[in-house]
């Protein structure tokens, strides 16, 4: 696999993380560069490690992982999106959904990177350097996530009132998209 092909693969894998980062940029309060970097690093870590884990698991677990990965992602994203909407509707002035909370950030990292594990299994057939692949995927995800956070932050100034509701809907739609892709387009 060429470096160009690997970068294209990495961009495709990180699109869900980018969308989650947009939403998180809108909701991140207080917003600091350190919190933004930490959040993007968590998404990148998951996205970079999951192909390696998939590669290590190899063919033996392929059917098991592919049979359930989309359901896990859907459940996590619907839960987080629903919680975000609920909190926004409860008290709009004091909405407290914090995407940078470690538990939330790790759940989002897991939910958006489960597909990368299946890609890692596929990469094991191609005899690629999995460490290089994981690093490229992780760096690409970090860069796209940081971009998403800052774009979300800019957009958030216009959406303040409904940001939690819109963000929750986006998370739920990402989960539905992942599930639909696996059920009908795999």
| pLDDT band, residue 141 (cuts 50/70/90) | very high
The count of domains in the chain is 1
Which residue's entry shows tokens 């409904």? Answer: 162
How far apart CA 120 and CA 48 sit, in angstroms, is 10
How far apart CA 35 and CA 26 sit, in angstroms, is 13
Tokens of 165: 């509701």
Average pLDDT on 138-158 reads 91
Of the ranges 22-26, 67-71, 95-99, 142-146, which is most confident?
A: 142-146
Give tens-digit pLDDT for 54-75: 888 875 666 676 677 778 778 8
Query: DSSP label at 2?
Result: -
The residues near 35 (Cβ < 8 Å, ≥ 6 apart) are: 28, 100
Which residue's entry shows tokens 């819109």? Answer: 166
DSSP of 79-90: HHHHHHHHHHHH
Q: Is pLDDT of 86 > 90? A: no
- Give the number of other Cβ atoms within 10 Å of residue 177's Cβ: 17
| Residue ranges making up the domain that contains 68 | 3-184
């Amino acid at each position: 696999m060429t470096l160009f092909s690997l970068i294209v693969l990495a961009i495709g894998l990180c699109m869900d993380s980018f969308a989650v980062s947009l939403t998180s940029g809108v909701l991140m309060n207080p917003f600091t560069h350190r919190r933004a970097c930490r959040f993007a690093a968590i998404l990148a870590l998951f996205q970079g490690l999951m192909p390696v884990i998939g590669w290590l698991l190899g063919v033996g677990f392929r059917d098991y992982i592919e049979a359930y990965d989309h359901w896990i992602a859907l459940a996590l994203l619907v839960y987080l999106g629903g919680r975000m909407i609920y909190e926004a509707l409860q008290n709009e002035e004091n909405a407290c959904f914090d995407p940078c909370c470690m538990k939330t950030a790790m759940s989002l990292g897991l939910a958006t990177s489960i597909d990368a594990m299946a890609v890692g299994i596929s990469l094991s057939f191609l005899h690629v350097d999995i460490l290089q692949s994981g690093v490229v995927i992780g760096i690409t995800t970090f860069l796209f996530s940081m971009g998403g956070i800052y774009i979300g932050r800019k957009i958030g100034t216009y959406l303040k009132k409904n940001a939690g509701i819109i963000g929750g809907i986006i998370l739920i739609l990402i989960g539905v998209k992942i599930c639909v892709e696996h059920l009908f387009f795999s």
